[in-house]
Amino acid sequence: MYSEKVMDHFNNPRNVGEIDNASGVGTVGNAKCGDIMRMYLDIDENQVIRDVKFKTFGCGAAVATSSMATELVKGKTVNEALQVTNKAVMEALDGLPSVKVHCSLLAEEAIHAALWDYAEKHGIKIEGLEKPVSDIGEKEEAPEEEY
């Protein structure tokens, strides 16, 4: 049911933890399943993501997608990190079962929430970044596809 990559990131999640004095922190949840994800970003003066850590209180797919999402945004600029959509994360994981697609939205939204927090703290505007929602259940109406 799960790809090898999903199992690998679930069993050995990368970048788990917290960052003290993070440049941006984002927390999002899904009220339907009760899962929560928190993302910490350390961003340098060139707007490059120097470090990223996450904590997920959620299902295995949420852990695997957050882990892969942190790998994908590390070393990227904030604008590049915006391109790391849940679809990109799922592709990098060789797919997710369709009932688990919504879990990957937590990862995308947590990154956006952390970027939003960073932008607010530093008084900057990140082009294309919309104000994140704290409950991604609101976003789940989008059609779910299998990847």
Residues identified as active-site = 33, 103
Q: Which stretch binds ligand FES (CB under 6 A): 1-9, 27-35, 71-79, 125-133?
A: 27-35
Sign for the CA dihedral angle at 96, 136, 39, 18 comes to negative
Q: What share of the chain is helix, strand, coil (3-state, %, to 5)?
A: 45, 20, 35
Question: What is the largest distance, in Å, between two alpha-carbon atoms of the chain?
Answer: 44
The residues facing 48 across adjacent strands are 77
33 binds ligand FES (CB under 6 A): yes
Which residue among 41, 106, 111, 126 contacts ligand FES (CB under 6 A)? 106
Q: What is the CA radius of gyration of the chain?
A: 14
Q: Is 103 in the site for ligand FES (CB under 6 A)?
A: yes
Based on the shown chain and the rule CB under 6 A, indicate whether residue 7 belongs to the binding site for ligand FES. Answer: no
Beta carbon nearer to ligand FES, 16 or 48: 16
**Counting contacts by CB under 6 A, is residue 59 touching ligand FES?**
yes
Query: Which residue's CB is nearer to ligand FES, number 44 or number 146?
Result: 146
Does 108 bind ligand FES (CB under 6 A)? Our answer is no
Q: Please state, as a whole number, how many other Cβ atoms lie within 10 Å of the Cβ of residue 60.
A: 17
C-alpha distances out from residue 12 to 4, 8, 66, 85, 89, Å: 12, 6, 12, 22, 16
Q: Is 35 in the site for ligand FES (CB under 6 A)?
A: yes
User: Which of 37/84 has CB closer to ligand FES?
Assistant: 37
Instruction: List interacting residues with ligand FES (CB under 6 A).
Output: 30, 33, 35, 58-59, 61-62, 103, 106
